Structure 1
Amino acid sequence: MDFIQTIVLALIQGISEFLPISSSAHLILVPKLSGWTDQGLAFDVVVHMGTLVAVVYYYKHIISQLLSDFYLCIVERKTIGESKLAWGVLLGTIPVGIFGFLFKDFIANDLRSIEIITYTTLVFGVLLGIAVLLDTRRPHAREILAWKDIVFIGVMQTLALVPGVSRSGVTITAGLLIGLSKKATIQFAFLLSIPVITLSVLLILIGIYQQQQMVDLTLLVVGFVVSGISAYLTIIFFIRALNTMSMMPFVVYRLFLGISLLML
């Protein structure tokens, strides 16, 4: 892997991780369509760590509050402040953690084809479009998550293990479908990304431990920095942009990409 490939793939990870367009699909498609060699597990770790640092830094104040209230909730055995949201993030992560661990080999070996990415891109693009239309026609949206909302979003998040679905895309779709506001949905989706990305990094590290790989530390550092900065700027752009626009452009992009892949 050379310097240009490092920059391109790190940018793809950083930009697409938090947009509803599937970072895993783009990290598979670009090397395959361009004829590049596989970037390797070590590179996957550092670019995921870059996006993890970005989202943690963006939500640092909320995360601090969640951890504090979560601790007090356990000690005092009652709901305190944002402790319900903290429990929600934990509960919402359990399904994807279980499925990811049980089926990691099947996902890595059998679900990374362009054909699967084509159909998941189209199907979940349509679902996101339906969710966006329902949201625009809804007079009032809920800001508070119920436990059933958390369970539903958590279960739906397991579908994002399949490349092309998009973790942020499917959680945002789930939230909008059950009547949550864009603000509440996106915040919960992004907070859910923190333990999920952490788990994915741990799984990749296990793979690295099992496979001895030669790595270029310079390229890994570049990948980490580029993915982290691009992810942070993308989060800022995405959240601010949704105050004045809908997510329909991402629906159009998914449909355009899926149809283009069908034609190929």
Structure 2
Amino acid sequence: MNTLQIIVLGIIQGLTEFLPISSSGHLVLIPKIFGYTDQGIIFDIAVHLGSLFAVVLYFRSDLREMVSSIFSFQKNNSERDLKLFLYLVIATIPAVLAGYFLSDLIDGQLRNPLIIASTLTFFGALMWIADKKSVRKDTIHNLDFPKVIIIGIAQSIALIPGTSRSGITMTAALFLGLKKEDAAKFSFLLSIPVILLASSYKFFQILSKGISVIWSELFIGAVVAFIVAYFSIGIFMRIIRNYGLVPFAIYRIILGVVIFYLFLD
């Protein structure tokens, strides 16, 4: 890949990882538009890790409180933060199991433009319904075990390219009664263990096969994705506070139609 392609794909990943519009959908569409060769799964992993560092930095105070709660014996907010930490762990389990047992299927047969277009459109419509019809009254600290399991199962469905991990977890959280900003915050925090585990597993799996890696490309892509993703999170939180998820639902449906048009022979 040339430097321009690396930067463009890094920007696309940084913009789309935490917006509920599917990063995989864009990483398929952009090469088609610009005539790029497929960047490969190893580059996708690198830019995902760049996005991971962005969300860790953005929510560093929340993460610090959760880590402190593990070792704290004071009740005040520590019990609440520990509960949130445990819920994040529990919600991660379904995606870890699905990723482990279905990784070959996901990286192979499901990495298909028409599947991506279908999931973009379907889950975009579902997101619209969740934004318009759900009753949103709870905060992130009103979550309970059944709700966390449902969000975790929803996240495992996001392993299908085009679904959008943030999109489907926010949609599920809205249907379960969370306020928009709390749904977004839980989704962002939930991305940390999932991206870390999935990317690390795939990365070492690829390295064990002896596949050559151009480290400079991965580094540049990851840095670009990190910078763009960090600012995207703040912008998204302001958008969802004022406008909800409807603009993203509309965009997903339009993008799905465009991909259908470009790839359907």
TM-score by length of 2: 0.91
Q: Which residue of 2 aligns with 1:105?
A: 104
1:142 aligns with one of 138, 148, 156 = 138
Matching of residue 13 in structure 1 with residue 13 in structure 2: yes
Say whether the 8 Å CA contact 2:12–2:27 is kept in structure 1.
yes
Q: What secondary structure is seen at the aligned counterpart in 2 of 1:36?
A: coil
Say whether the 8 Å CA contact 2:25–2:117 is kept in structure 1.
no
Residue identity opposite 2:223 in structure 1 = V
Instruction: Spell out, residue by residue over 1:41-88, the C-alpha distance to the aligned partner (whole angstroms, 9 max, x if none).
Output: 442232111111100000111001111213447x99xx8231110000
Q: Which residue of 1 aligns with 2:113?
A: 114
Q: CA deviation at 1:204?
A: 2.0
Q: Which residue of 2 aligns with 1:188?
A: 186
Q: Which residue of 1 aligns with 2:164?
A: 166
Q: CA deviation at 1:239?
A: 0.7
Instruction: Spell out, residue by residue over 1:122-164, the C-alpha distance to the aligned partner (whole angstroms, 9 max, x if none).
Output: 10000000001014xx3x5111111111111001111100001
After superposition, the CA RMSD in angstroms is: 1.9
* Greater Cα offset, 43-52 or 94-103: 43-52
Q: CA deviation at 1:247?
A: 1.5
Q: What secondary structure is seen at the aligned counterpart in 2 of 1:19?
A: coil
Say whether the 8 Å CA contact 2:22–2:162 is kept in structure 1.
yes
Q: Which runs of 4+ in 1 moved over 6 A?
A: none
Structure 1 residues 127 and 224, CA, compared in 2 at 3 Å: closer, same or farther? same
Say whether the 8 Å CA contact 2:121–2:256 is kept in structure 1.
yes
Instruction: Spell out, residue by residue over 1:198-241, the C-alpha distance to the aligned partner (whole angstroms, 9 max, x if none).
Output: 01211221232233333333332221211000000000100122
2:149 aligns with one of 148, 151, 169 = 151
User: How many residues are matched?
Assistant: 258
1:170 and 1:178 map into 2 onto residues whose CA distance is: 12
Say whether the 8 Å CA contact 2:88–2:189 is kept in structure 1.
yes
* Greater Cα offset, 26-35 or 113-122: 26-35
Aligned ranges for residues 22-171 of structure 1 at < 5 Å? 22-72=22-72, 80-135=79-134, 138=135, 141-143=137-139, 144-171=142-169
2:201 and 2:214 map into 1 onto residues whose CA distance is: 21
Q: CA deviation at 1:33?
A: 4.6
* Greater Cα offset, 43-52 or 153-162: 43-52
Aligned ranges for residues 203-214 of structure 1 at < 5 Å? 203-214=201-212
Q: What secondary structure is seen at the aligned counterpart in 1 of 2:256?
A: helix
Say whether the 8 Å CA contact 2:124–2:253 is kept in structure 1.
yes
Residue identity opposite 2:154 in structure 1 = M
Instruction: Spell out, residue by residue over 1:159-208, the C-alpha distance to the aligned partner (whole angstroms, 9 max, x if none).
Output: 10000100000000000011111122111101100001101211221232
Q: Which residue of 1 aligns with 2:248?
A: 250
Residue identity opposite 1:23 in structure 2 = S
TM-score by length of 1: 0.92
Residue identity opposite 1:142 in structure 2 = D
Say whether the 8 Å CA contact 1:96–1:155 is kept in structure 2.
yes
What percent of counterpart residues are identical?
Answer: 40
Instruction: Spell out, residue by residue over 1:12-55, the C-alpha distance to the aligned partner (whole angstroms, 9 max, x if none).
Output: 11110000011122112322454322223442232111111100
Say whether the 8 Å CA contact 1:44–1:204 is kept in structure 2.
no
Instruction: Name structure 1 gaps, 5 residues minimum.
Output: none
1:206 and 1:177 map into 2 onto residues whose CA distance is: 37
